Amino acid sequence: MKITDVEIIPLSYGISDKPPRRRFFAVLKLTTDEGVIGWGEASDCYGHSHPMTVKALFDEKLRWLLIGQDPLPLEALMQRLRTHVYHPLGARELVIQCLSAIDIALWDIRGKVLNKPIAALLGQHHERLPLYAATKPAFYEPYERHMERIERLTSRGVRAAKLRTGRDLAWDTTYLREMRAMLPDEVEILVDGKYNYYPDSAIQVAQVLGEIGAVYFEEPIDDTSLDEMARVAVHSPVPLAYGEHAYTVNDFRDLIQRGGARVLTPDAAICGGITEMMKIAALAQAFQLKVVPHCGGLTAIGMAANFHAAAAIPNVGHFEYDARAVQPLRDELATEPLFSNERIENGSIAVPSGPGLGIEVNERVFERYPYEIDPQVASSFSVYGTRHV
Q: Which residues bind Mg ion (CB under 5 A)?
A: 192
CB 24 within 8 A of CB 51: yes
Give min distance, CB of 191 to Mg ion, in A.
Answer: 10
Nearer to Mg ion by Cβ, of 32 and 43: the residue is 43
Number of neighbouring beta carbons within 10 Å of residue 28: 28
Nearer to Mg ion by Cβ, of 108 and 172: the residue is 172
Which amino acid, 296?
Answer: G
Nearer to Mg ion by Cβ, of 29 and 294: the residue is 294
Give min distance, CB of 266 to Mg ion, in A.
Answer: 12
Nearer to Mg ion by Cβ, of 41 and 192: the residue is 192
Give min distance, CB of 362 to Mg ion, in A.
Answer: 30
Nearer to Mg ion by Cβ, of 164 and 231: the residue is 164
| Among the listed residues 243, 237, 219, 227, the one whose alpha carbon sits nearest the alpha carbon of residue 96 | 243
- The string over 133-157, giving b where at least 16 C-beta atoms fall within 10 Å of a residue's C-beta and e elsewhere, is bbbebbbeeeeeebbebbbbbbebe
* Backbone φ and ψ of 207, nearest 5°: -65, -40
Nearer to Mg ion by Cβ, of 172 and 192: the residue is 192
Nearer to Mg ion by Cβ, of 46 and 198: the residue is 46
Give min distance, CB of 219 to Mg ion, in A.
Answer: 6
Cis omega (within 30 of 0) for bond into 355: no
CB 40 within 8 A of CB 101: yes
**Could you say which DSSP state residue 90 is in?**
-
Nearer to Mg ion by Cβ, of 118 and 191: the residue is 191
Angle at 106 between CA 28 and CA 292, to 5 degrees: 85
Q: Is 89 exposed, middle or buried (0-12, 13-18, 19+ CB in 10 A)?
A: middle
Give min distance, CB of 256 to Mg ion, in A.
Answer: 18
Give min distance, CB of 327 to Mg ion, in A.
Answer: 17
Give min distance, CB of 162 to Mg ion, in A.
Answer: 8
Give min distance, CB of 244 to Mg ion, in A.
Answer: 5
- Cα dihedral value 245, 247, 249, 252, nearest 10: -20
- Among all residues, whose Cβ is closest to Mg ion? 192
Give min distance, CB of 217 to Mg ion, in A.
Answer: 11
Give min distance, CB of 193 to Mg ion, in A.
Answer: 9
- The upper half-sphere exposure of residue 57, i.e. CA atoms within 13 Å in the direction of its Cβ, equals 22
**Could you say which DSSP state residue 358 is in?**
S
Classify 160 as helix, strand or coil.
strand
In sign, the C-alpha dihedral spanning 75, 10, 49, 135 is negative
In sign, the C-alpha dihedral spanning 374, 380, 384, 385 is positive
**Could you say which DSSP state residue 9 is in?**
E
